[in-house]
Amino acid sequence: MSDVAIAVLSVGALFVFVISGVHIGFALIVTSLVGMIFITGSVDIALNLLVATAYSGVRDYVFAVVPLFILMGAFMTNCRAAESLFSAVNFLFKKLRGGLAIATVYANAIFAAVTGVSVASAAVFSTIAFPQMERYGYSKRLALGSVAGSSVLGMLIPPSLLMILYGILTQVSIGAMFIAGIVPGVLLALMYSIGIMVIGYLRPATVGVTPSAVAAPRPVAVAATSTSTGADTTVASEASEGEALDGGVDELREADVHLPVGGERKELTFGAAVVGSIPIAALVLLVIGGIWGGIFSPTEASAVGAIGALAIAPFMGMDWRRFFNSFKQTAISTGAILFLLIAAQAYSRMLASSGLVARVGRFINGLEVSDFVIIVLFVLILVVMGAVLDSSSIILLAVPLMYPSIQLLGVDPIWFGIVLIVAVEIGLLTPPFGMVPFAMSAVLGNRAAVDDIFIGSLPFLIIMALFLAILIAFPVLSTWLPGLL
Task: Judge whether 118 lies within some domain.
Answer: yes
What range does the domain containing 200 cover? Answer: 61-335
Confidence of residue 250 (pLDDT cuts 50, 70, 90): very low
CA distances from 75 to 70, 159, 315, 322, 361 (A): 9, 15, 12, 8, 43
Classified as helix, coil or strand, 257 is: strand
Residues 420, 421, 425: CA angle, nearest 5 degrees: 120
Task: Judge whether 367 lies within some domain.
Answer: no
Total count of domains within the chain? 1
Lowest mean pLDDT across 99-108, 226-235, 300-309: 226-235
d(CA 278, CA 256): 21
Task: Judge whether 377 lies within some domain.
Answer: no
Q: What percent of the chain has pLDDT over 70?
A: 80
Task: Judge whether 101 lies within some domain.
Answer: yes
The pLDDT mean for the chain works out to: 76
Phi/psi class of residue 280: alpha, beta or left (left: φ > 0; alpha: ψ in -120 to 50)? alpha
Task: Judge whether 404 lies within some domain.
Answer: no
Check whether 169 has a pLDDT greater than 80: yes
Task: Judge whether 273 lies within some domain.
Answer: yes
Task: Judge whether 328 lies within some domain.
Answer: yes
Tens-place pLDDT, residues 457-476: 899 999 999 999 999 999 99
Determine contact, residues 145/195, Cβ cutoff 8 Å: no
Tens-place pLDDT, residues 118-159: 766 777 777 778 888 888 888 888 888 888 888 888 788 877
Range list of H helices, 293-319: 298-312
Q: What is the reported pLDDT for 192?
A: 92
Residue by residue, DSSP assigns 374-443 as HHHHHHHHHHHHHTTS-HHHHHHHHHHHHHHHHHHHT--HHHHHHHHHHHHHHHHTSTTT-HHHHHHHHH
Q: What is the reported pLDDT for 414?
A: 92
Tens-place pLDDT, residues 357-386: 677 767 776 777 777 888 888 888 888 777
Task: Judge whether 452 lies within some domain.
Answer: no
Tens-place pLDDT, residues 51-81: 887 777 667 666 777 788 778 877 877 777 7
Residue by residue, DSSP assigns 225-249 as EE-TTSS-EE------GGG-TT-TG
